[in-house]
């Protein structure tokens, strides 16, 4: 089995920490990609291991390209490899894309609200109530006026393994919408701040289902300041796939919070992640050199 495989929400996931020699070139810290292989169908990780090995080869080629000053070529190759992994779910990036294999759909706001309605009904039917906070693009998709799609839903830590009722409804929703199987995951929990207050730094967004049925799901979103701090800590502006979206998110959140300078942004980062703020050369460089165009005139998000 590959050295970089781990189990997450019933699926094998590729996880690798960025080596120290590439840390300044790749700010992600830890790279995570789903292999899209269910553990129950590949209990020893043989198929998933082949995919993880292919992912690792592409990742190392990307890092080498960055270190050799070939950022554009490396990013293009890595982006294409990730796109194929995401849409095809296997590790042979040289293989032509089958014409009959559907491309996975992005999540839009109405589809996500409908998915939460279904989870709420399933929770109520199971005699329970699930309370979650959503982060990243999914929080912006729900509560802002400047994000219109996302790839997955990053939520606060979930019970592992997932309760049967939750695993069943999440899988059903994925099939219905042609979403990736791990669209609902708590991978972000590792990156959350222990200094963030559940009440003061989060706002209740809504309860689900939205109809007259008994509520089974309560969804909260982080405050604008906390979400900005999370995005600054991740510093994924140079990510070959998500960099431009991350840049626009940071610009809009800074406007919502009412700040414009590098020092003000680092102060927000330090409120939740003091260690990152104390060694924020990477964030300072990105903020100083980041293109300030592209944000909307009147961004909205809960403060």
Predicted confidence at residue 224, as pLDDT, reads 97
Burial (CB count <10 Å: 0-12, 13-18, 19+), residue 250 = buried
Q: In whole angstroms, what is the distance from residue 117 CA to residue 59 CA?
A: 38
Q: Compute the half-sphere exposure of residue 95: CA atoms within 13 Å on the CB side of its CA.
A: 14
Q: In whole angstroms, what is the distance from residue 93 CA to residue 61 CA?
A: 13
Mean pLDDT, consecutive 10-residue stretches, the chain (303 aa), reads 80 88 81 84 86 86 81 67 58 37 70 97 97 96 93 90 95 92 89 92 96 94 97 78 85 96 97 94 88 90 93
Predicted confidence at residue 46, as pLDDT, reads 85
Residues 17, 59: contact at Cβ < 8 Å?
A: no
Q: In whole angstroms, what is the distance from residue 232 CA to residue 246 CA?
A: 9
Q: In whole angstroms, what is the distance from residue 204 CA to residue 221 CA?
A: 6
Predicted confidence at residue 72, as pLDDT, reads 63
Predicted confidence at residue 87, as pLDDT, reads 54
Residues 292, 254: contact at Cβ < 8 Å?
A: no
Tokens representing residue 70 in the block: 């070939």
Predicted confidence at residue 99, as pLDDT, reads 39
Q: In whole angstroms, what is the distance from residue 174 CA to residue 177 CA?
A: 5
Q: In whole angstroms, what is the distance from residue 235 CA to residue 153 CA?
A: 19
Tokens representing residue 138 in the block: 């999914």
């Amino acid at each position: 089995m590959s050295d970089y495989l781990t189990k997450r929400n019933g699926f094998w996931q590729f996880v690798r920490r960025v080596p120290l020699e590439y840390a300044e070139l790749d700010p992600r810290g830890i790279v995570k990609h789903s292999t899209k292989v269910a553990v129950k169908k590949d209990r020893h990780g043989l198929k998933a291991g082949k995919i993880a090995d292919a992912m690792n080869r592409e990742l190392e080629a990307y890092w080498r390209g960055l270190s050799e000053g070939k950022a554009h070529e490396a990013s293009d190759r890595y982006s294409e490899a990730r796109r194929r992994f995401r849409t095809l779910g296997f590790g042979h990036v040289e293989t032509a894309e089958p014409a009959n294999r559907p491309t996975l759909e992005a999540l839009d706001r109405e589809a996500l609200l409908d998915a939460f309605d279904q989870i709420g009904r399933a929770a109520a039917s199971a005699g329970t109530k699930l309370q979650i906070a959503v982060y990243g693009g999914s929080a912006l998709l729900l509560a802002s006026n400047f994000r219109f799609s996302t790839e997955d839903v990053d939520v606060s830590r979930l019970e592992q393994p997932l309760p049967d009722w939750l695993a069943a409804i999440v899988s059903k929703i994925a099939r219905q919408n042609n979403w990736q199987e791990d669209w609902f995951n708590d991978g972000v929990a590792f990156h959350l701040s222990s200094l963030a207050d559940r009440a003061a730094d989060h706002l209740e967004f809504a309860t689900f289902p939205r109809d007259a049925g008994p509520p089974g799901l309560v969804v909260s979103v982080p405050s604008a300041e906390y979400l900005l701090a999370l995005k600054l800590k991740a510093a994924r502006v140079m990510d070959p796939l998500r960099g431009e979206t991350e840049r626009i998110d940071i610009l809009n959140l800074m406007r919502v919070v009412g700040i414009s300078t590098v020092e003000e942004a680092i102060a927000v980062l330090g409120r939740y992640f003091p260690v990152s703020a104390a060694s924020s050369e990477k964030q300072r460089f990105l903020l100083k050199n980041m293109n300030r165009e592209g944000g909307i005139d009147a961004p909205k998000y809960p403060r």
